[in-house]
Structure 1
């Protein structure tokens, strides 16, 4: 069930939006104040995709899990009710796993990419069948519709990536647009490939359909935006920060990333031309392995002139068959995910990516929808592309035209050998994906981002220490039904005797709730934890709490990460128990609760 559908069902079963007086959320639950709690249907709510329903303290609490913010935002859209403790959730870190950040940036535009890929495939089939002329106006208009998302990808990705990086997404989009603006693109032909900016040489390149240049540009924008906001007074920021950001980021992008694309791409194309002449088998194996990353980096465009020149002068090209192997491996990867996954959304995405890759060799939906999300599948595809590339070299397979997909297999020579090599790429990647599974880098339906999906890599014993000094108690003794029932995972409670909050293990801070009463941590060994300070202390709105870390900070076991005036919290009428919960308990073979003798002794062991 999607977050939107879940929100609709929740609002319906709490008595409708008219019954909502106010709504906040904490780290794991929606906290409603209802006008009439008797109108809420607890039994119906508990049948939904939630963890628990709790009534108490004048609140009607619905426990969602650590992705509560997503559901909260959907509920707010329906009810319009919000209180001061809202907001919150995860703050996006700038460092750590760039692969996952890129994947999240593509998520909003995957439907457009899939739809465009399917339309491209349909157009190629119609032209091949003689049902449409490639010179017709209809074909031109529909081609524009199918190409637009790819051509303007720097703009679209600028917006989504800027959003993920917590900078102005529209400034980010404008940075991407500058790379495609006619005054710049005219220089590509008028200036002979080179120009200058304030006497600094600029090597020109075509940025349409590229991914990484705009990502690097937005990373630069993030740094410049933060610097400018530190040195420019607040009253002038709205005028000068956007202007100076554009003045600095766009030229830096063109000066730095242009040469990277040109020289790296040219080096690859020249190296492949020489290598093919010396050892075609080894060259095709190597290119088969690096072919997909080459496309992901946008460097494959440097190979097109080489391929076209070969086709026009000799009528054949020996590299293109291996290029096609990457497409068939992508199709196999998508189909493997389709059959392996039990998630209906992922099935829909993977099948939509499979069709254009298999029928026409269009791989963008696979790259952006599958490979950016599932790195293990990317390795499968790269490996089988290398094997198929080796076969292309052994059989001396050549191409006579640029088109790809199953429809044009007869145009390759020898066609039977080409079909065998492509079957190896397709079937091999499919079987590896289906038999050994895929590694999830995204957010599952009820698990936080960054959850480890391969328990076998955690088959060792790791320990955590208490988050506070004091008396360690069983979680079942904690005076909050959600925690004591173990709904959120196994853990312990600490009745504190001092004000410090300590890191229980080495890791990274995933999130700090705005009211400072809860901290999300991911350890180096894959455990996802919440330190929840007190019960119902979200209502204090950060009063008496001081947290010394923020999302993205690395922490070490025993490090002081916060300070809480527990005496004042207790005087305000709140339970001060500090809880440490392993929220991805089910990803471990065993989570043991220990009995420590001293503060430094382990309180939790995961296997």
Structure 2
């Protein structure tokens, strides 16, 4: 793919830079907020080299690219911001009538840049645990400690990373925001808790402060940087240029760090734990039903581009508890999609359709990206979509019944199997059985629902 040519082609067919009010990207999609969606030519955008599909959902014009989307975004951003007629909302807070759409868009933009670090760290942790179980590495050795630090640092310093990406989304200074996140992890601040831990108290100018351990937390720093963005924009607009270098960071740090520690942080911790506890309680109460709903319905969420709303819960579970129940259900969905492509391959006679099925299978198995098959085949053939949903639901039910967990936030593929490796050796075995069920059920149904004369939809 020629990223510059692809970016130019997309821009020309969505109404030009002047028609874009906001832009961001996630793991596989370029996400645009268009001032006038009617100016976009869907057919022409789909025909641009490198574009897999176009979806206009959740208040956004979503262009499916694949895992190369960050490189494309760089070229696209340069073209848009180089247009003198473009008026981009740098805060990323588009004035949409839908609050839900704005939330989904914000979550996507905040977490997308961190996904490689989260996934890579998770796989490394799984491989390290496996190496210890096989006796290849001693858990008392320096090698283990160094690799353990390498695989867990992304979670410990998550507030700093989220602060940086949140600042880019909300329009604040990324570096001042990172300092706010770092302040929450400063050893001197953590030492104030003593042996009490969360709930210990101190004072700031005689104001009571409830102390919290913020390493690995998600919600507090996002709320803090969202609030900081308003202060930063106010200071940036009011402070004279000659004083900005000193006054803006001085006032920002002096206000936001105490405010986060006193008010925003505890609220964020308790609210995040509350949501996570509700989800985990529902899973514990009816893990089979949860497996059916998520395993079968995850592809529907992906097709709408709103699966990002669930990702922070999974990340929070991993960082807080060290495991998560939801990630395995997303594996069930992905392997159901793989199974469907296998069924299509063995039943269809059309060479182009068979080649597409094989390409989709390899893509999902290696990179966990289901969108090409989802939009290129399943949403266009409702029977095959149903085959995948049933396969994912059945496999998800088994994973839920056996309480399968992952020790990392990863996307479901063959390369991320190490995420199932843990202290409980049966967890990996049960995971493989559940994923095999998803694959086999959807493969059989995909074979049944495919007509020999089916061709690939254009």
SS of equivalent residue, structure 2 residue 194: helix
Question: In 2, are the aligned partners of 1:328 and 1:426 still within 8 Å (CA)?
Answer: no
Q: Contact 1:156–1:173 (CA<8 Å) still a contact in 2?
A: yes
Q: Distance in 2 between matches of 1:213 and 1:346?
A: 38
Partner of 1:12: none
1:332 — aligned with what? 332
The one of 282, 286, 294 aligned to 2:285: 282
* 2:138 maps to which of 133, 136, 157: 133
5 Å matches for 1:460-475?
none
* Equivalent residue number for residue 239 of structure 1: 246
Aligned residues: CA RMSD: 5.7
Q: CA deviation at 1:171?
A: 1.3
- Deviation, 1:137, is 0.8
Asked if the contact 1:211–1:296 (Cα under 8 Å) also holds between the matched residues in 2, the reply is: no
Q: Judging changes above 3 Å, is the alpha-carbon distance between structure 1 residues 262 and 111 closer, same or farther for their aligned structure 2 residues?
A: closer
Residues 361-383 of structure 1: CA deviation (Å, up to 9, x unaligned): xxxx99xxxxxxxxx9xx99998
Counterparts of 1:88 and 1:133, CA distance in 2: 57
Larger radius of gyration between Structure 1 and Structure 2: 1
Distance 1:380 1:245 in 2: 52
Match in the other structure for 1:391? 401
**In 2: Cα distance, 1:100 partner to 1:83 partner:** 20
Separation of aligned partners in 2, 1:88 and 1:230: 21
Distance change (3 Å), C-alpha of 1:287 and 1:248: farther
Listed as ranges, the gaps of 5+ residues in structure 1 are 9-24, 29-46, 52-64, 305-322, 355-364, 367-375, 437-607
Aligned pairs for 1:27-42 (under 5 A) are none
199, 205, 209: which is aligned to 2:212? Answer: 205
Specify which structure has the bigger relative contact order, considering alpha-carbon pairs within 8 angstroms and separated by 6 or more residues.
Answer: 2
Pairing of 1:171-210 with structure 2 (within 5 A): 171-189=176-194, 193-210=200-217
Q: Higher helix fraction: Structure 1 or Structure 2? A: 2
Instruction: List alignment gaps of at least 5 residues for structure 2.
Output: 9-15, 20-46, 52-62, 95-100, 295-309, 342-355, 371-384, 409-417, 447-458
TM-superposed CA distance for 1:257, in Å, is: 3.7
**Counting strand residues as a fraction of each chain, which structure ranks higher?**
1
Relative to structure 1, is the Cα distance of residues 353 and 409 closer, same or farther in structure 2, using a 3 angstrom cutoff?
farther
2:316 aligned to which of 298, 302, 305? 298
Please give the TM-score of this superposition, normalised by the length of structure 1: 0.42
Question: Which 10-residue stretch deviates more, 383-392 or 174-183?
Answer: 383-392
1:304-325 deviation line (CA, Å, top 9, x unaligned): 8xxxxxxxxxxxxxxxxxx664
Query: What is the Cα deviation at residue 223 of structure 1?
Result: 1.0
Deviations for 1:185-241, whole angstroms, at most 9, x for unmatched residues? 222326652222222222222222222222111101111112223443343223212
Which residue number in structure 2 is paired with residue 249 of structure 1? 256
Q: Residues 388, 162 of structure 1: CA spacing in aligned structure 2 closer, same or farther, 3 A cutoff?
A: same
> Alignment partner of 1:298: what SS?
helix
Aligned CA distance change for structure 1 residues 391 and 134 (closer, same or farther; 3 Å)? same
Contact 1:158/1:176 (8 A) holds in 2: yes
Match of 1:146 among 146, 151, 169: 151
SS at match of 1:202: strand
Counterparts of 1:526-537 in structure 2, within 5 Å, are none
Decide which of 402, 405, 417 is 2:420's aligned counterpart: 405
Distance in 2 (alpha carbons) for counterparts of 1:27 and 1:381? 44
C-alpha separation in 2, matches of 1:430 and 1:159: 43
- How far apart, CA to CA, are the structure 2 residues paired with 1:89 and 1:235? 26
1:49 aligns with 2:67: no
Q: Distance in 2 between matches of 1:71 and 1:250?
A: 36
What TM-score results when the alignment is normalised by the length of structure 2? Answer: 0.53
Aligned to 2:89: 91
Q: Which residue does the alignment assign to 1:225?
A: 232
Aligned length: 331
Checking the alignment, whether the CA contact within 8 Å between 1:158 and 1:173 is kept in structure 2 is yes
- Give the conservation status (yes or no) of the 8 Å contact 1:269–1:302: no
Give the 5 Å matches for 1:251-266.
251-260=258-267, 263-264=270-271
CA distance in 1, matches of 2:84, 2:71: 12
Residue pair 1:165, 1:222 contacting (<8 A) in 2 also: yes
